[in-house]
Structures are given as structure tokens and as C-alpha cells.
Amino acid sequence: MRVLVTGGAGFIGSHLCDAFLARGDDVSVIDDLSRGRASRLPEGVELYPDSVLDASRLSTLVEQARPELICHLAAQVDVRASVAYSGQDAEVNIVGTVNLLEAARAVGARMLFASTGGALYGEDAPVPSSESMQPAPGSPYGVAKYCAEQYIGLYNRRYCTEHAVLRFANVYGPRQGASVVSVFCANGIEGKPLTIYGDGKQTRDYVYVDDCVAAFLAAANYGKAGTWNIGTGTEINVLDLAELVARQTGFRSQPVFAPARMGEVSRSALIWERAAQDLGWQPITSLSDGVRAVVRWFEAGAPDRAFR
């Protein structure tokens, strides 16, 4: 299969490229390298260092690559940045997605869209949250992702396409940049403080990157439209995450507290039974094992090409 991955030089995207190549697919990547790194990509991947915001150039590249499947991960993913620069967030996450939908339509490609779960369902949603919940996002990032989902639904209705949406919980793993798990692990190894924003009682659902990649492959094989939560269904608060990281890094670090961040929900976890029913997918990596893999990655010098 010919596969195009936008944001393929990023954290999740580079792992996804590895997986598609491993199963024998022809893989190309569009990434403007504002956050991604070309060094993450294995040999055999064609890299186009371009932006999804350039509609004309994007159409040309998609026409050239002629993908059968497009995995759309290029995005602005920082909730705090979305609050500070809402227009830029909307441009990347909404306009960029529409540009890609048009390019995909021209070549008859199917799209898998990397959306969000934690930022989508909102502060008042039951936890864990299911796909049947009406989204009520509390940040511009969540609003933009939901708007992009609505465009995907529109294209499916209007053009009889089979584009699909994967709503991810908090993804973590090797190659990740400044996320709470990676920052805690890096600081824990070096004996630096583990900074906790707010009281530390806010919860998240942490899903390991290999499990997310498996969800993409399962959705690719499924071949039909759908919207699926991809998480573990388990909440853990930041205090307990800091304790877990400290334990796995030899208790060299102590927590310190800083003011809470704007735009973030207090609790989040995702019900994943629909993905199990439709895709045959389930999370298999425990948080303890996943954190251990991230610690080992940092101990090895954080090489871009290392998995574990």
C-alpha cells in the first residue's frame, strides 16, 4: 500500500512510518520540520519538507505520491499555545485538515485523522468518556480538532469517502519532546526537580506510542469510516505519575509545585471498547512498562531511532 504520513517526522508519526515500512508499505512523509526531525525517519521514506497550509503545494505533492492511505498527524498540539495564539492553532488544525481532505479527494485516498480525546470531551464529561458523549472542549485546541472532525464527517457524507478519526488520550513514549512523562523521566535521571503544575491531583489517561501505532494499523485494515477512542480507560494523577517516575529513576528527584496551567481539564480518561469491537484493538502496555521504556531511552542518550 502507498501511505502518506503528514507530521511523519514527529514523535508518533516517525513510529508509524517504521511500522508501515516493517509491513512492506511504500511510505512518504510531508512535514515542515518545525517540530519534526528528518533524522527520525528510516531509509526508504520519501520526505517532503512542506506545510499542509500551502494548499497548492500540498495538492501537487499528494498527486505526485498518489497515496491510497493518508495518516494525518501534522498539527499544532500545545493546549497552552492554542490559548495564546488561537488563530494560528485554528489555521493549522482546521485549514490544514481541509487542505488535505481536498488533496485526498483528488486522488481517491482514504484519511485517518489523529484527533484528541482529553481536550475534546470537556470538563463536565463523565470519566472515563465514551465516543457517544457530546464534545464540549474547553480550549481552542479541542475546538479546532472537533471542527476538523466535522469537516471529515462532511466529506464522508458528501463524497461517500471512508475517512476515520482516532481520538487519542495522552500519548507518551521514546522520541517525544516536552510532555510530562518525558520531562519527568529526563529530570528524574538527572536528579532535577519534577515540576507539578497546580495541586497534582489532575488526572490523565496515558497510552503508549506502540499501542497508538497499532490502532492506526488496525483502522487502516478496517477500511471503513468511524470514530474511536484510543486510550487505556485508566486515570492517574500527576502526583502518582511523579512517584512512579521517581521510583524508576532511583528516587533522585523531588516534586516542586508551580501555578496551574490555563485551558487544561482536571480529569481525563477514555473508554476504548468501541475500538476493541470494531478494530480488534486494545492497549497492551502498562504505564509502568511504558515509563521504563522512556527511562531506558533517555539513559541511552535519547537516540531518535531507538524504540526501547
Distance CA 42, CA 31 (A): 14
Cα 223 vs. chain centroid, distance in angstroms? 20
Q: What is the pLDDT of residues 245-258, one digit of tens each?
A: 999 999 999 999 99
Q: Is the pLDDT of residue 308 over 50?
A: no
**Overall residue count recorded for the chain in this entry:** 308
Tell me which residue of 74, 22, 2 sits closest to 213, measured CA to CA. 22
Q: Determine the pLDDT at residue 83.
A: 84
Dig out the grid coordinates for 144 from the structure. 479546532
Instruction: Decide the pairing of beta strands 203-204 and 236-237.
Output: antiparallel
Q: What is the pLDDT of residues 158-171, one digit of tens each?
A: 999 999 999 999 99
Q: Average pLDDT in the 130-135 region?
A: 96
Q: Average pLDDT in the 202-206 region?
A: 97
Whether 229 contacts 270, CB under 8 Å: yes
Write the DSSP symbol of residue 139.
S
Dig out the grid coordinates for 123 from the structure. 470538563
Q: Hey, where are the domains in the chain?
A: 2-172+207-232+270-284
Q: Determine the pLDDT at residue 81.
A: 86
**HSE (CB half, 13 Å, CA atoms) of 192?**
9
Radius of gyration (C-alpha) of the chain in whole angstroms: 19
| 136 — pLDDT class (breaks 50, 70, 90) | very high
Q: What is the mean pLDDT of the chain?
A: 95
Whether 36 contacts 57, CB under 8 Å: no
Show Cβ contacts of residue 21 under 8 Å, excluding neighbours closer than 6 positions.
27, 42, 44, 45
Distance CA 226, CA 131 (A): 10
The amino acid at residue 151 is Y
Q: Determine the pLDDT at residue 297.
A: 95
Is 48 annotated in the active site? no
Q: Is the pLDDT of residue 307 over 60?
A: no
Q: Determine the pLDDT at residue 264.
A: 80
* Local structure of 212: helix, strand or coil: helix
Q: Is the pLDDT of residue 305 over 60?
A: no
For the domain 2-172+207-232+270-284, what is the CATH superfamily, name and number?
NAD(P)-binding Rossmann-like Domain (3.40.50.720)
Q: Average pLDDT in the 259-288 region?
A: 94
Q: Determine the pLDDT at residue 79.
A: 86
pTM exceeds 0.85, yes or no: yes
Q: Determine the pLDDT at residue 1.
A: 96
Q: Determine the pLDDT at residue 77.
A: 86
Q: Is the pLDDT of residue 16 over 90?
A: yes
Active-site residue among 121, 141, 146, 155?
Answer: 141
Residues 102, 105, 111, 116: what is their CA dihedral angle, to the nearest 10 degrees? Answer: 30
Q: What is the pLDDT of residues 142-159, one digit of tens each?
A: 999 999 999 999 999 999
Q: Determine the pLDDT at residue 177.
A: 86
Q: What is the pLDDT of residues 67-92, one digit of tens each?
A: 999 999 999 988 888 888 899 999 99
Q: Determine the pLDDT at residue 137.
A: 94
